[in-house]
Amino acid sequence: RAEPEASMEYLLLANRAIATYLTGDHDGALSEWHGLDHVVMQIAYTTRAFAIRRHELLGEVLDKRSVMAPLALDGVLVDDGRQEVGPQWRVHGRAFRLPEVELWRDV
């Protein structure tokens, strides 16, 4: 799309940054992750607060440059039982965002 919504752009690029991190390219992943700081702030949906908090917390995890298994990284913000923004954190707090299928269409 010529002008993607911030939520779509963030979803795709944040997942790519996490995947890049897992390959061991921590510098590339961190550059991409921190480049999304302004994108997450532009999300217009009610899930914006979840996305911002998740982005901040995962940024702190990624900044440590630890080698982690994919499942460990995916659950790093939820497996300890925390509820950052309520019980829905179990879904929104995962490193990989796999939301419901959405349809975007250029008109």
72: tokens are: 């460990």
Entry pTM: 0.87
Highest-scoring range by mean pLDDT, 5-9, 49-53, 69-73, 103-107 = 69-73
Query: Does the pLDDT at position 102 exceed 70?
Result: no
Banded model confidence at residue 104, pLDDT cuts 50, 70, 90: low
DSSP state string for 3-55: S--HHHHHHHHHHHHHHHHHTT-HHHHHHHHHHTHHHHTT--STTHHHHHHHH
Task: Check pLDDT > 70 for residue 1.
Answer: no
Interval 85-91 mean pLDDT: 85
Angle at 52 between CA 46 and CA 55, to 5 degrees: 140
Predicted confidence (pLDDT) at residue 31 exceeds the cutoff of 90:
yes
